[in-house]
Amino acid sequence: MVDAGNLLYKGRAVPEGERAEREAKARLIAETTPWGGIDAMLPARGEFALGRAFVEAVATEHKLPYVVSNLECGTPMAWPTVIESSKGGVNFAIYGVVSGELSVPACRASDPARALASAPAGDTVVIVLSDQEEAQDLALATAVPAIDFIVVADAASPFRVPEPLPNGGLRLSNGSRGKMLGVLSGQLLPGATAWRDAGTRAAKAAEVDSARERLSEVDRRIREAPDDKAKERLSRQREFWETRLAKLDAELAATVQSAGPAHEAQNELVALGDDVGEHARTHERVQAVKATLSEATPMTQGAVESGEPPPAYSGAFVGSEACAGCHPAETAQWKGTPHARAWASLEAVNRQFDADCWRCHATGAFSPEGPGEPRSLGGLVNVGCESCHGAGRDHMLSPAEKPLVVNPPASQCTQCHDKKQDDGRFNEATYRPKVVHSSP
Ligand code: HEC
Ligand code: HEC
Ligand code: HEC
Ligand code: HEC
């Protein structure tokens, strides 16, 4: 298992009809994946948000196979800068590269090319788990020709086909939050230096075809244009497609250039729904880590660098208890809504300290003035009054002079009911009456 993303993930439901097929596929992969058995993970932003010392302690306790190559801290870190391994007669070297924007107290992300300067060239397959932006990945591949694959962490959408790297390697992504399992298989060809994914070239050729079609469509419309104004507008479109076609043509040509002797790769993405059985050993480890995170209750978790617990939040948001005395009716009604139980829903699945989850199940976290991390929430757990009405400290002190939003608009709701995390369930007409205090 090579994971460049987040250790903590949420499964996604898969249509009932596909269940058996998916299960069979997952089992097949577990049993036959030839490169299986090398464990490597990149701790990324979500993990480091919990503090370096804490992440290190958890990783050590649970033997997480973390690898970070370009993080320089005052003291040596608990995990290696490269994982070297050999499977089925093939040598692997796996590196982990964090983004320069990562902020870890007392540490600094160093130049990744320097960190990988001694990456073994030749027959060793060099894999880089990366939390960087695309341009930085491309620059890294140019600087370090030995790189075979860059696996992207936390991409918004997985690439169906790997993208070619300037050094002949491939860049691939399996999406984020563990929704997809990427299965990379390959065949090494003696003497070859580049990699070829059958899908990459076919996909590029299809893009060229479609750009060419769009261009001839614009040409047709220019011929039939009723007046000069329309012609002019269309000729700007024509320029766009011409430039795009030239770029795509060059990219396609680049895949032909590397069409000499090349290693064969194939990346397959398998959707991991709740229905796909867990890999027992990995699942056990993930559960153990989550349990450790959950035991570390707010205020007592010694995660920050100094070893001091994080300070309780004390800003513009005050928490729902502070409103109860003056607004008993609204409070009583709110307590009966799912918003008042939102934190318990996360606790029930041990995800309350998950960087991917806590914000929408707490109060004020979307505001720059709000709490910045889950351990300092205190009374701001749950979707409280201020999630809809705004920060209430000033109002509480002088209610008449500092009025709050009386009737929050739908845009307030859709910060959390974002059509993605809730699988598109939000419908203002049916949802609003369920949470307002007065009957509609
Ligand atoms: C800070 C994030 C947040 C905001 C803002 C928010 N919600 Fe929610 N809402 C949630 C969460 C999280 C849940 C799930 C609670 C649970 O069951 O654990 C939820 C649940 C609900 C439910 C219950 C759904 C069901 O049938 O189970 C309704 C209805 C609802 N919200 C309506 C609204 C409306 C209307 C607004 C805006 C006026 C709004 N919410 C604003 C986060 C939010
Ligand atoms: C973008 C905001 C957002 C994020 C991020 C988010 N949630 Fe929620 N969550 C919601 C909303 C909104 C609902 C209510 C959806 C509904 O019922 O319409 C909800 C409901 C839930 C529920 C209760 C009902 C259910 O659907 O099972 C659980 C459990 C839950 N979320 C867990 C999680 C976990 C675990 C994560 C992190 C992987 C997470 N949430 C991240 C907004 C969010
Ligand atoms: C999910 C969003 C949401 C949450 C959470 C929420 N409210 Fe409201 N609140 C509304 C909406 C919408 C209205 C306007 C419609 C209405 O009067 O019910 C409103 C109106 C009000 C009003 C004005 C009532 C009036 O008659 O003028 C008060 C006071 C109020 N809320 C207090 C609270 C308090 C206190 C809490 C927490 C215990 C709370 N609200 C939680 C959405 C919310
Ligand atoms: C000390 C008592 C007090 C506390 C505490 C208090 N309010 Fe109010 N609130 C009032 C009064 C009084 C009004 C009516 C003000 C007016 O009509 O001018 C009001 C009005 C409101 C309204 C209606 C809009 C408005 O401003 O006229 C909302 C919404 C509201 N409060 C939400 C909250 C929330 C949320 C909290 C907790 C963060 C809170 N209140 C805490 C006394 C209080």
In the reported structure, the alpha carbon of residue 410 is separated from the centroid of ligand 2 by a whole-number distance in angstroms of: 18
Most confident of 55-59, 238-242, 253-257: 238-242
Q: Residue 400: CB within 6 Å of ligand 4?
A: yes
Which position has the higher pLDDT, 2 or 346? 346
Residue 344: C-alpha distances to residues 37, 348, 350, 419 (Å): 36, 6, 9, 22
Taking the C-alpha atoms of residue 105 and residue 124, their distance in angstroms, rounded to an integer, is 34
More confident residue, 282 or 326: 326
Looking at residue 313, its pLDDT comes to 83
Q: Is the minimum distance from the CB of 322 to ligand 3 under 6 angstroms?
A: no
Instruction: Note whether 361 and 383 are within 8 A (CB).
Output: yes
The residue whose CB lies within 8 Å of the most ligand 1 atoms, and thus the one to mutate among 333, 382, 383, 437, is: 383
More confident residue, 234 or 45: 234
More confident residue, 13 or 27: 27
Residue 259: band (very low, low, confident or very high) from pLDDT cuts 50, 70, 90: low
Give the lowest-confidence range in 124-133, 273-282, 414-423: 273-282
Average of per-residue pLDDT across 128-140: 92
In the reported structure, the alpha carbon of residue 403 is separated from the centroid of ligand 4 by a whole-number distance in angstroms of 7
Q: What pTM was computed for the model?
A: 0.63
**Which DSSP state fits 79?**
S
Give the span between the Cα atoms of 289 and 184, in whole angstroms: 27
Distance, C-alpha 432 to centroid of its chain: 30
Q: Please tell me the residue having the least CA distance from ligand 3 atom 3.
A: 388
Which atom belonging to ligand 2 lies closest to the Cα atom of 351? 35
Least confident of 20-24, 29-33, 99-103, 187-191: 29-33
Determine the pLDDT at residue 256.
60
What pLDDT, on a 0 to 100 scale, did the predictor assign at position 160?
A: 64
Instruction: Say if CB 222 and CB 234 are below 8 A apart.
Output: yes
Q: Give the relative orientation of helices 198-223 and 228-257 as an angle to the nearest 10 degrees.
A: 160
Q: Which pLDDT does position 318 carry in this prediction?
A: 93
Phi, psi of 304 (to 5 degrees): -75, 160
Mean pLDDT of all residues belonging to the chain: 79
Looking at per-residue confidence, does 38 or 175 come out higher?
175
CB 140 within 8 A of CB 116: yes
Q: Evaluate whether 162 touches 197 at the Cβ level (below 8 Å).
A: yes
22 pLDDT tier (thresholds 50, 70, 90): very low
pLDDT for 298: 43
pLDDT band at 424 (very low <50, low <70, confident <90, very high): confident
Q: Nearest C-alpha to atom 19 of ligand 3 is from which residue? A: 407
pLDDT of 3 higher than 70: no
Output the CA 338–ligand 1 centroid distance in Å: 7
- Please state the φ and ψ torsions of residue 182, each to the nearest 5 degrees: -95, 125
- Tell me how far apart the alpha carbons of residues 102 and 296 are, in angstroms, rounded to a whole number: 24
Task: Give the model's pLDDT for residue 157.
Answer: 56
Q: CA triplet 120, 259, 261: central angle to 5 degrees? A: 55
pLDDT at 159: 66
Whether the CB-CB separation of 313 and 376 falls below 8 Å is answered with: yes
